[in-house]
Amino acid sequence: QSESPDATTTSVCGFCSTGCGLEIHLKEGRSVNLTPSTDWPVNLGMACPKGWEALNVLQSSDRATRPLRRGASGELEPTSWDEALHYFCQQMKGVQSRHGNDAVAFLSTGQIATEEMAFLGSLAKFGMGMQHGDGNTRQCMATAATAYKESFGFDAPPFSYADFEESDTLIFVGSNICIAHPILWERVLRNRHQPEIIAIDPRLTETAQAATSHLKIQPKSDLTLLYAVANYLIQKDWIDREFIAAHTNDFEPFAQHVQSYTIERAMELTGLSEQAIVELAEKIHRGQRVSFWWTMGVNQSHEGVRTAQAIINLALMTGNIGRPGTGANSITGQCNAMGSRLFSNTTNLLGGHSFTNEADRQKVAGILEIPIERIPTENSWAYDQIIEGIRQEKIKGLWVIATNPAHSWIHQNDLQEIFQKLDFLVVQDMYSNTETAQLADLVLPAAAWGEKEGTFINSERRYGLHKKVSPAPGEALADFQIFRAVADYWGCGEMFSKWTEPERVFETMQQLSEGQPCDISGIAGYAELDDRRGVQWPCATGETDRSVERRLFETGRFYHADEKAKFIFEDSRRPGETADDEFPFVLLTGRGAAAQWHTQTRTAKSSVLRKLYPNVLQVDLHPADAKALGIAPHELIHVESRRGIVQAHANLTAAVGRGQVFMPMHWDTVNQLTFAEFDPYSRQPSYKNAAVRLRRR
Ligand code: SF4
């Protein structure tokens, strides 16, 4: 009874990019419970298990509550904030004086507020003089961002969630939306048009099981399939020539390019029948409102950008964009992947600007009232290039914020060895026992979602406000406060004197966005975000449309200078590692369940979520392959790649094809097996392809 709430407030969820609204129940200003918001335009009263458990994971006993410094004994030992901040500055400045300003870098996250990202990126680059910093969004959304930028002229996912309900043909490519974005799948289930739902995936995923048809393609054959379908549509003249002529460039070279992608060629590589491929083309042709959706199956690929653009090309050539129920739609991953894409100041200058463009640098310098010379004139290295920079001892100091690369980065053993080359590793996190924090010289304890405020931007470009509803444990501070303190101890606090709280940074972000496609200058501050349950970008000054269903390109005008979209294409190529006699299976990795999140740093803390997920690492393999190898159900076996050996329990299921195995990414050992290959344009890792063999122990 004492915990009965006396008030409620709303907040946007801090796990995935769906951006569900949660009603937080308060007792004397502190959270005691939550329920999904019924009036939030995203989730309409629903939440997945992670959302329901969002408050409980804050209560864990292994929260970081004090700064920790590695002492003479080699152990992490408590220290004061004052000492920790002095030590941070002394060590980082020491690295810079020995090796140059660029010898320190940061690795950030899609999990903190947009305002915190903007503060970190500005502090690191303009205040501390770093050149290089990247985020873990490189592991999830870099491909989509690059593809959109090249094709549309700006990183602009065009859709609204209403499109799930308004489409008559939904095509999911490499997207297990049922468990990756369960509330968005609920939106699909609300579709009243009896839609065709097509899942293109090597596995019979939960989404493939629920779809009206499943194209069980061979791994890494999606680009060839998409080009063959494009070719077939062109041959049949099932394309929108009027839209192509009015709104796009380079269609004719594209049409020539795909001529060699015949149905026969696609059959050979994909393993699909002629009928399956032709039917896919026919369904796209018959659909009045066709929407294409993709996530990590496309993004995490050695040719992810061109695959995403092949999807974009299909939408453009059939005129399926800018109308309800259509679009080439990338569903982002983390709660604030979009914030990272627009405001992290890593590979883009704040607000979707460019470091290499002088006018952009002048604009940003003017708004921030800093000398233009403080702004780097080159883009940052991407994540993998920063790791390589550490290997080559060009980077000697690293600041890791709210991410866990020692678990999540591809080819894990290599990364853990590389980190030993650092002179100084700082980890800022809500837990002090992550795999990366255990390697750190200094751990800065951070407040979590629910213990601080700021905005996230969800997959449909909606800014949502999350609020402080619980105190942070011990001496943990909001990331925003940590950046504020670092700025002051570093000696550049004056540069950010106006950034006293997140909403002040939001106001600066509004100024920075003015005139950009992502313009949010018309939003009336946090109050409007709160009142309206979020606002989608763009929302320029004077914009009066606040409907919950706003999509891009309704006028057919894209963001390139000539306002046309581009057909971009390139020949498909095989990945750098393929199955062979020695390692005859292809390892696919991915999300294992709706109840777990990434490296489980938060979700494993919930007893409810743990019960909803196997407590042992499993490897899915086909029963016929298991029989051939004499592997029994649930047997503990060795999964071995050229990079490592992992033990896992055999889960026999025909959901995976012969010659393929699947392992969930949530377990700390899986990336010992993965093969470090990257898309050349987005530099996103290709997590879903490694050659492995299976052995009985
Ligand atoms: Fe949170 Fe995503 Fe679950 Fe919604 S679907 S409750 S945003 S984790």
Dump pLDDT digits (tens) for 566-618.
999 999 999 999 999 999 999 999 988 888 888 888 888 899 999 988 889 99
Q: Which atom of ligand 1 is nearest to the CA of 597?
A: 8
Please compute, for residue 159, the number of CA atoms within 13 A of its CA located in the half-sphere on the CB side.
30
Q: What pLDDT, on a 0 to 100 scale, did the predictor assign at position 2?
A: 55
The CATH number that applies at residue 485 is 3.40.50.740
From residue 368, alpha-carbon distances to 117, 505, 536 in Å are: 15, 10, 25
Same domain, 593 and 452: no
pLDDT digits (tens, 9 = 90+) for 623-638: 999 999 999 999 999 9
Q: How far is the CA of 529 from the centre of ligand 1 (A)?
A: 19
Q: How far is the CA of 15 from the centre of ligand 1 (A)?
A: 6
End of a domain among 280, 304, 331?
Answer: 331
pLDDT classification of 155: cutoffs 50, 70, 90: very high
Q: Which atom of ligand 1 is nearest to the CA of 42?
A: 4
In angstroms, the CA 477 to CA 390 distance is 29
Q: Pocket of ligand 1, candidates 35, 38, 43, 597: which has the most ligand atoms within 8 Å of its Cβ, to mutate?
A: 43
Residue 633 forms part of a structural domain: yes
Task: Write out the residue range of the structural domain in which residue 401 sits.
Answer: 68-137+335-536
How much of the chain exceeds pLDDT 70, in percent? 100
Instruction: Report which residue type is found at 544.
Output: T
Residue 580 forms part of a structural domain: no
Residue 280 forms part of a structural domain: yes
In 633-694, which ranges are continuous DSSP H helix?
none
Provide the token pair at 56: 């409980």
Same domain, 183 and 307: yes
Same domain, 404 and 342: yes
Q: What pLDDT, on a 0 to 100 scale, did the predictor assign at position 338?
A: 87
pLDDT digits (tens, 9 = 90+) for 30-62: 999 999 999 999 999 999 999 999 999 898 888
Provide the token pair at 189: 């289930």
Residue 548 forms part of a structural domain: no
Residue 544 forms part of a structural domain: no
In angstroms, the CA 79 to CA 71 distance is 10
Same domain, 327 and 339: no
Q: How many CB atoms lie within 10 A of CB 289?
A: 18
Q: Which atom of ligand 1 is nearest to the CA of 52?
A: 6
Residue with tokens 């959270």: 31
Provide the token pair at 647: 């033990």
Q: Pocket of ligand 1, candidates 10, 12, 16: which has the most ligand atoms within 8 Å of its Cβ, to mutate?
A: 16
In angstroms, the CA 598 to CA 259 distance is 40
pLDDT digits (tens, 9 = 90+) for 222-234: 999 999 999 999 9
The CATH number that applies at residue 31 is 2.20.25.90
Cβ atoms of 534 and 463 within 8 Å: the answer is yes
In angstroms, the CA 226 to CA 228 distance is 5
Residue 546 forms part of a structural domain: no
Q: How far is the CA of 19 from the centre of ligand 1 (A)?
A: 6
Q: How far is the CA of 466 from the centre of ligand 1 (A)?
A: 13
pLDDT digits (tens, 9 = 90+) for 640-675: 999 999 999 999 999 999 999 999 988 889 999 999
Nearest to 377 by CA among 131, 608, 75: 131
The answer on pLDDT for 483 being more than 90 is: yes
Same domain, 353 and 296: no
Give the torsion through C-alpha atoms of 667, 672, 678, 682, to 10 deg: 30
Nearest CA to ligand 1 atom 2: 16
The answer on pLDDT for 134 being more than 90 is: yes
CA quadruple 167, 173, 179, 180: dihedral sign: negative
Q: How far is the CA of 283 from the centre of ligand 1 (A)?
A: 31
Residue with tokens 């915990």: 3
The answer on pLDDT for 474 being more than 60 is: yes
Q: What pLDDT, on a 0 to 100 scale, did the predictor assign at position 614?
A: 82
Q: What pLDDT, on a 0 to 100 scale, did the predictor assign at position 1?
A: 45
Nearest CA to ligand 1 atom 4: 20
In three-state form (DSSP H/G/I as H, E/B as E, the rest C), the secondary structure along 281-338 is HHHHHHCCCEEEEECHHHHCCCCHHHHHHHHHHHHHHCCCCCCCCCEEEECCCECCHH
Strands 462-466 and 454-457: antiparallel
pLDDT digits (tens, 9 = 90+) for 548-577: 789 999 999 999 999 999 999 999 999 999
The CATH number that applies at residue 167 is 3.40.228.10
Q: How far is the CA of 334 from the centre of ligand 1 (A)?
A: 10
Provide the token pair at 689: 């392809």
- φ, ψ (nearest 5 deg) of residue 519: -55, 125
- φ, ψ (nearest 5 deg) of residue 686: -100, 85
Same domain, 504 and 377: yes
Same domain, 187 and 300: yes
From residue 275, alpha-carbon distances to 222, 231, 268 in Å are: 17, 15, 13
Q: Which atom of ligand 1 is nearest to the CA of 183?
A: 5
Ligand 1 cavity residues, CB under 6 Å: 13, 15-16, 18-20, 43, 47-48, 50-51, 181-183
Those residues whose C-beta lies under 8 Å from the C-beta of residue 29, and which sit 6 or more positions away, are 7
Average pLDDT, the chain: 96
Supply the DSSP symbol for 622: -
3-state secondary structure of 130: coil
Cβ atoms of 47 and 59 within 8 Å: the answer is no
Same domain, 277 and 405: no
Q: Which atom of ligand 1 is nearest to the CA of 15?
A: 8
Q: How far is the CA of 458 from the centre of ligand 1 (A)?
A: 11
Same domain, 83 and 22: no
Using only the alpha carbons of the chain, give its radius of gyration: 24
Cβ atoms of 139 and 408 within 8 Å: the answer is yes
- φ, ψ (nearest 5 deg) of residue 468: -80, 115
Give the torsion through C-alpha atoms of 660, 666, 672, 678, to 10 deg: 80
In angstroms, the CA 586 to CA 221 distance is 13
Q: How far is the CA of 655 from the centre of ligand 1 (A)?
A: 25
Q: How far is the CA of 120 from the centre of ligand 1 (A)?
A: 25
Cβ atoms of 356 and 99 within 8 Å: the answer is no
The answer on pLDDT for 189 being more than 50 is: yes
Nearest CA to ligand 1 atom 3: 48
Strands 169-173 and 132-135: unpaired
Same domain, 218 and 308: yes
Q: Pocket of ligand 1, candidates 15, 46, 185, 608: which has the most ligand atoms within 8 Å of its Cβ, to mutate?
A: 15
Nearest to 270 by CA among 664, 688, 657, 675: 657
Residue 452 forms part of a structural domain: yes
Q: How far is the CA of 590 from the centre of ligand 1 (A)?
A: 17
Question: Domains in the chain: how many in total?
Answer: 4
Q: How far is the CA of 51 from the centre of ligand 1 (A)?
A: 5
Q: Which atom of ligand 1 is nearest to the CA of 22?
A: 6
Nearest CA to ligand 1 atom 1: 51
pLDDT digits (tens, 9 = 90+) for 411-444: 988 888 999 999 999 999 999 999 999 999 999 9
Q: Which atom of ligand 1 is nearest to the CA of 54?
A: 1
Same domain, 498 and 600: no
Supply the DSSP symbol for 459: T
Q: How far is the CA of 29 from the centre of ligand 1 (A)?
A: 24
Same domain, 53 and 78: no
Provide the token pair at 210: 């629920």
In angstroms, the CA 138 to CA 341 distance is 9
Residue 168 forms part of a structural domain: yes
Cβ atoms of 496 and 122 within 8 Å: the answer is yes
End of a domain among 331, 348, 364?
Answer: 331
In 429-517, which ranges are continuous DSSP H helix?
479-490, 502-513
End of a domain among 517, 536, 555?
Answer: 536
The CATH number that applies at residue 673 is 2.40.40.20
Q: Which helix (H) or strand (E) holds 638?
A: strand 636-641
Q: Of 107-111, 412-416, 511-515, 566-570, where does mean pLDDT reach its minimum? A: 412-416
